[in-house]
Structure 1
Amino acid sequence: MTTTAPHHRSEAGQGAAGGLVVLAAVMLFVAGVLDLLRGVMAIAEDDVYVAAPNYLFKFDLTSWGWIQLVLGAVAVLVSMGLFSRATWARVVGVGMAGLLIIANFLSIPYYPLWSLTLIALYAFVIWALCVVRRGD
């Protein structure tokens, strides 16, 4: 009969895990604010966006702006939950980052470089939130 000792994590490991959650919270907050600003630009029908006449996914710029605005606002709220290390925020943060990756994929024809940059940021947020074990 073998007994196993309880698995204890080192302080360095716990610090790194906590640091990843904080980094993910900061990245989600910054990217959410940037999506908020993109939504405001689209609602105001700013000249920043280009027309993509032959793209499969066509959206009205104003309605697309409202979608970006709402998703960005929710991302900022979830990042606040991540700062308090709430478990619900980690789960919702992964889901929100996934939705925002899809939203930014759909906006590639209108603002390609920035959409790809935000996709990379949100992919990093998903990684940082998933690599941390429960309870860290």
Structure 2
Amino acid sequence: MVEDKTPGGWGVFAALLLLMNGTFTAIQGIVALAAPERLFAGEHTLVVLDYDRWGWVLLIWGVLLAVAGGALLAGATWARVFGVVVAFVNAVGQLTWIGTQPWLSLLLIALNIGVIWGLTAGWPEHRRHAAPTPPAPHTP
């Protein structure tokens, strides 16, 4: 019997959120590399010493988020743990932007919490175990 490793509803939701978040983060990195004057940062709330380095960090981080989302959609076993880790780190990382973009930061933190929930508690019970459990016998 072939085991179905594709994610269920919450798994697909978490994967798509990671793909979107990764795409947006990579775009922020490209903006920081190409046109740093367009990167939104307040004078006293965020210290970025080098926009080029920050742009590369955002670009690479965005690619990692997108890889996690794509691997989840593909049904990779390792992707659930990787997705939880990158969503957690991304949520904590959003705290660096909370002084300059509080609503966006809070929204992204909430979305990352949704990803974590979807990959942990929201995962269907029959997909949590490596071996499928046989159905219970029918008693009259």
Q: In structure 2, what is the equivalent of residue 80 of structure 1? A: 70
Percent of aligned pairs with the same amino acid: 32
Instruction: Say which of 2, 11, 36 aligns to 1:21.
Output: 11
Asked if structure 2 preserves the Cα contact closer than 8 Å seen for 1:42 and 1:49, the reply is: no
> What is the aligned length?
119
**In the alignment, which of 54, 57, 68 is matched to residue 58 of structure 2?**
68
Distance 2:32 2:92 in 1: 17
TM-score, normalising length: structure 1: 0.76
Deviation at 1:48, TM superposition (A): 4.2
Who is 1:112 aligned against? Answer: 102
Alignment partner, residue 52 of structure 1:
43
2:100 aligned counterpart, secondary structure:
coil
Offset of residue 39 of structure 1: 1.5
In 2, distance between residues paired with 1:108 and 1:42? Answer: 18
Preserved CA contact (<8 Å) 1:36 1:70: yes
**Partners in 2 of 1:123 and 1:18 — Cα distance?**
18
In structure 2, C-alpha distance between the alignment counterparts of 1:119 and 1:126, rounded to whole Å = 11
1:89 aligned partner: 79
1:50 & 1:37 partners in 2: Cα distance? 16
- Considering fraction of residues, name the structure with more helix: 1
Partners of 1:102 and 1:59 in 2: how far apart? 17
1:40 maps onto 2:44 in alignment: no
C-alpha distance 104-50 of structure 1, shift in aligned 2 (>3 A):
same
